[in-house]
Chains A and B, each alone.
Chain A
């Protein structure tokens, strides 16, 4: 029965109910596989993509607005056609997804850290600390997330010169999306903490004499991570869509580092002149990412706790 630490870890995973449920839910396996393909594709874009859409030297205006390969006039080099600058759509989508996913993961990580931290403190301390944090959360919830993101972006845009802003656009948008998302983590964590802190294992820690931080981090936090992961997964899809929305509205990432939203906006202008592929393929990539991540998140929610949310 004795196993090494690593072997034991893998045994516990492969023996868990979650693992079993995962392999017996086709939608979970499918959405996880699709997410993985998209994430790997986006992550390794520089190695996979046939062209580098940012390398102006390789662009040729003669190749602009070519339709996908299978259509009349298509070029076998450009599978999904090209845009008005002669950029390969497939490469642009791969690079764009990379930026979209980067913004998504980074803003989710940031809201998670802020939200979980504040939720822990709020739920464990209670009283005045809790009241202050939760009132801030309430105020923030009364504004739509997209409005807050627009606000943050607008403020930064006005107080910084244009060149600096272009450089910082990525960080600004990550910050803007993160700030609009922390409330959900904080509220969920707070309610879980309030349920956990009256349990006897927490009281046992108090009897030992452990301080509030030790109890929060070592005892309560590991027991409330389940719902946090569910929210994070669903939030990832939402963050990617929010970023796309902002970029589509022209307040997100600049055309020099185009995300999926920027690509859709650029392509949108050509939609009615017949060059549908410029906007449809980035759009399809966005739908696939959001859908697969969301489906995976849905399964995770059901598998961890059917009563949650």
Chain B
């Protein structure tokens, strides 16, 4: 008999404009000791399934059909008190963000003792001993001492270990893990996945692992369930589903995952996702946009950074000697040639976004030179001198939700840079250009009258790209442009960026923490760590023959998927 059986459940969220079915007739079973992956893109209903199991559906959501059985006993109709006793004791939970799932005002051991005592009633002393044991088991060194520290004294990965220890407190039969590694860097992710794998095997605990990341699925799960728009489309052994997917959606999902083993020209056409218009028949060379190519060529690289540094003040003082700084970028020098796609890769806090923001003028560097087309931008002072250069470089940002002003229409957002830099002779011309830009990024001119909230993340990223192109730049900085997007949307947006880069002859700086994406996009790559440059190499060289120790480390950590 299966340990947990989710039998034909349907969850709906009643709303102002009709009821929304988040999960429709989903049936899953979980055996003891196995890890069942639930994978899907945003809005697939995978987290809702997890919440339904632990009885924490967000109001006013409700289960209108089906039942959930734990060891053969129905648990979905229990009242709140019984359910609370069950949660933590028989069903453990691990959430995405270890920062918010721990109480910052209590030491780690206090939180563990509270949970242990609540469910096992063993007394304070025994509970403390057990807490320390558990911390040791989840890989926290020196648990005796560290357990009396507060959550903020632990790193992200260590915090997630504490959360796992919390989930294990009362020896649960089943653990629900909702995106447990999404907030972590790759190197930490690998360790946490390893730990979870070990726990399930050793303790014979079943785990439902909810994630959007195919790499995570490939790494640790035994079986995988693929969800799409609230429905279960495929369920089977992980190797089989990933190797020979049956359902069309699974196929497109897998083909959209960037490969780390070799470079392909374009992502295969992914079906089964939101429709976007094809690139229209606009002769870009003759078009307004194509005139970007007419920039004067300078000798030497387009962009040359020399000893660029950035320090942020972390402690203010009127006495210079007492000020404290964080060095985000430490004397980094590199060149970007005309027409190349230059990648920067590194973990969070490595300073890659700071470099982008210094180049585009959001931050003033504290040291070093930025030469663009032979002109030292750091020497220019007035807006009048700088603005012609600003126009030549634009940026696509990471977060599709905050990078567009929610109070402006799309047409106004895209028109603003055109008007500011006086790129159009008349209002009519400006409107035409905006419409063309929206066509080129695949949205169509109907998008112009709408507001950003009417679009999905991928569509907003397209608006962002249209806005960046609206000054007719020759240098485009993309700061993690797809890391907030679902993998199939990511493939589309990356294809679009590639098309535009080639047709407009753009020079591009592409920042990402995701090595497979870098491999697909870039000609040369720079690896950064803690604000310092580790290695610059041609992409293929880096992947085949990394020189720096840290580069090798990063490459080792890529979840092996798609090698089949």
Residues of A within 8 A of B (CB): 8, 17, 20, 199-201, 203-211, 214, 218-219, 222-223
A203 & B362 in contact (Cβ 8 Å cutoff): yes
Tell me which residues across on chain A come within 8 A of B449, comparing CB atoms: 8
Residue from A8, A207, A211 in contact with B395 in the complex, judged by beta carbons closer than 8 Å: A207
Tell me which residues across on chain B come within 8 A of A17, comparing CB atoms: 16
Cα distance A171–B362 when bound, in Å? 44
B398 & A200 in contact (Cβ 8 Å cutoff): yes
Cα distance A223–B451 when bound, in Å? 13
Residue from B16, B404, B407, B471 in contact with A208 in the complex, judged by beta carbons closer than 8 Å: B471
Cα distance A223–B453 when bound, in Å? 13
When C-beta atoms are compared, the residue in chain B nearest to A24 turns out to be B16
Question: What does DSSP make chain A's interface, helix, strand, loop or mixed?
Answer: helix
**Residues A206 and B361 in contact in the complex (CB < 8 Å), given A20-B16, A200-B398, A200-B399:** yes
B394 & A209 in contact (Cβ 8 Å cutoff): no
B122: interface (CB < 8 Å):
no
B362 & A207 in contact (Cβ 8 Å cutoff): yes
**Residues A209 and B391 in contact in the complex (CB < 8 Å), given A200-B402, A201-B402, A204-B397:** yes
Cα distance A201–B416 when bound, in Å? 12
**Taking the nearest CB of chain A, how far is it from the CB of B452, in angstroms?**
9
A207 & B405 in contact (Cβ 8 Å cutoff): no
Cα distance A218–B417 when bound, in Å? 13
Residue from B16, B361, B404 in contact with A201 in the complex, judged by beta carbons closer than 8 Å: B404
Cα distance A201–B468 when bound, in Å? 12
Cα distance A199–B464 when bound, in Å? 14
Cα distance A210–B415 when bound, in Å? 13
Cα distance A219–B408 when bound, in Å? 8
A210 & B420 in contact (Cβ 8 Å cutoff): yes
Closest 3 CB pairs of A and B: A200-B403, A209-B390, A222-B407
| Contact flags B408-450 to A (C-beta < 8 A → 1, else 0) | 1000000011001100000000000000000000000000010
**Taking the nearest CB of chain A, how far is it from the CB of B421, in angstroms?**
7
A199 & B402 in contact (Cβ 8 Å cutoff): yes
**Residues A207 and B420 in contact in the complex (CB < 8 Å), given A199-B402, A200-B403, A223-B406:** no
B357: interface (CB < 8 Å):
yes
Tell me which residues across on chain A come within 8 A of B408, comparing CB atoms: 218-219, 222
A219 & B390 in contact (Cβ 8 Å cutoff): no
B405 & A219 in contact (Cβ 8 Å cutoff): yes
Residue tally, chain B, CB below 8 Å to A: 31
Cα distance A192–B183 when bound, in Å? 26
B128: interface (CB < 8 Å):
no
**Taking the nearest CB of chain B, how far is it from the CB of A223, in angstroms?**
6
Cα distance A223–B406 when bound, in Å? 7
B405 & A223 in contact (Cβ 8 Å cutoff): yes
**Residues A211 and B383 in contact in the complex (CB < 8 Å), given A200-B399, A206-B361:** yes
Tell me which residues across on chain B come within 8 A of A207, comparing CB atoms: 360-362, 390, 393-395
**Residues A203 and B357 in contact in the complex (CB < 8 Å), given A20-B16, A209-B383:** yes
Tell me which residues across on chain B come within 8 A of A218, comparing CB atoms: 408
When C-beta atoms are compared, the residue in chain A nearest to B398 turns out to be A200
When C-beta atoms are compared, the residue in chain B nearest to A210 turns out to be B420
| Contact flags B368-405 to A (C-beta < 8 A → 1, else 0) | 00000000000000010011001101110111001111
B467: interface (CB < 8 Å):
yes
Cα distance A206–B357 when bound, in Å? 10
When C-beta atoms are compared, the residue in chain A nearest to B403 turns out to be A200
When C-beta atoms are compared, the residue in chain B nearest to A221 turns out to be B407
B362 & A206 in contact (Cβ 8 Å cutoff): yes
Tell me which residues across on chain A come within 8 A of B402, comparing CB atoms: 199-201
Tell me which residues across on chain B come within 8 A of A211, comparing CB atoms: 383
Other than the given A206-B360, A207-B360, A210-B416, 4 more pairs (CB < 8 A) read A206-B361, A208-B420, A209-B391, A222-B408
Provide a sorted-by-A list of 21 A–B residue pairs whose CB atoms are within 8 angstroms.
A17-B16, A200-B398, A200-B399, A200-B402, A203-B357, A203-B395, A203-B403, A204-B397, A204-B403, A204-B467, A206-B360, A206-B362, A207-B361, A207-B362, A208-B394, A208-B421, A208-B471, A209-B361, A210-B420, A211-B383, A218-B408
**Taking the nearest CB of chain B, how far is it from the CB of A49, in angstroms?**
42
Cα distance A219–B394 when bound, in Å? 18
Tell me which residues across on chain B come within 8 A of A204, comparing CB atoms: 395, 397, 403-404, 464, 467
Cα distance A279–B394 when bound, in Å? 67
**Taking the nearest CB of chain A, how far is it from the CB of B59, in angstroms?**
14
A201 & B390 in contact (Cβ 8 Å cutoff): no
B407 & A223 in contact (Cβ 8 Å cutoff): yes
**Taking the nearest CB of chain B, how far is it from the CB of A127, in angstroms?**
10
B398 & A208 in contact (Cβ 8 Å cutoff): no
Q: Which of B492-542 contact A (CB under 8 A)?
A: none
Tell me which residues across on chain A come within 8 A of B386, comparing CB atoms: 209
Cα distance A221–B408 when bound, in Å? 12
When C-beta atoms are compared, the residue in chain B nearest to A219 turns out to be B405
Tell me which residues across on chain B come within 8 A of A219, comparing CB atoms: 405, 408
A208 & B390 in contact (Cβ 8 Å cutoff): yes
Cα distance A259–B160 when bound, in Å? 64
When C-beta atoms are compared, the residue in chain B nearest to A214 turns out to be B420
Tell me which residues across on chain A come within 8 A of B467, comparing CB atoms: 204
**Taking the nearest CB of chain A, how far is it from the CB of B30, in angstroms?**
37
Tell me which residues across on chain A come within 8 A of B393, comparing CB atoms: 207
Tell me which residues across on chain A come within 8 A of B416, comparing CB atoms: 205, 208, 210
**Residues A209 and B357 in contact in the complex (CB < 8 Å), given A200-B399, A201-B403, A204-B395:** no
Cα distance A89–B420 when bound, in Å? 60
Cα distance A211–B390 when bound, in Å? 12
Cα distance A204–B401 when bound, in Å? 13
Cα distance A214–B471 when bound, in Å? 17
Tell me which residues across on chain B come within 8 A of A199, comparing CB atoms: 402-403
Tell me which residues across on chain B come within 8 A of A201, comparing CB atoms: 402-405
Cα distance A204–B468 when bound, in Å? 9
Residue from B387, B399, B405, B406 in contact with A209 in the complex, judged by beta carbons closer than 8 Å: B387
B383 & A200 in contact (Cβ 8 Å cutoff): no
When C-beta atoms are compared, the residue in chain A nearest to B404 turns out to be A201
Cα distance A8–B454 when bound, in Å? 14
**Taking the nearest CB of chain A, how far is it from the CB of B160, in angstroms?**
26
When C-beta atoms are compared, the residue in chain A nearest to B451 turns out to be A12
Tell me which residues across on chain A come within 8 A of B406, comparing CB atoms: 223
Cα distance A86–B387 when bound, in Å? 72
Cα distance A211–B16 when bound, in Å? 41
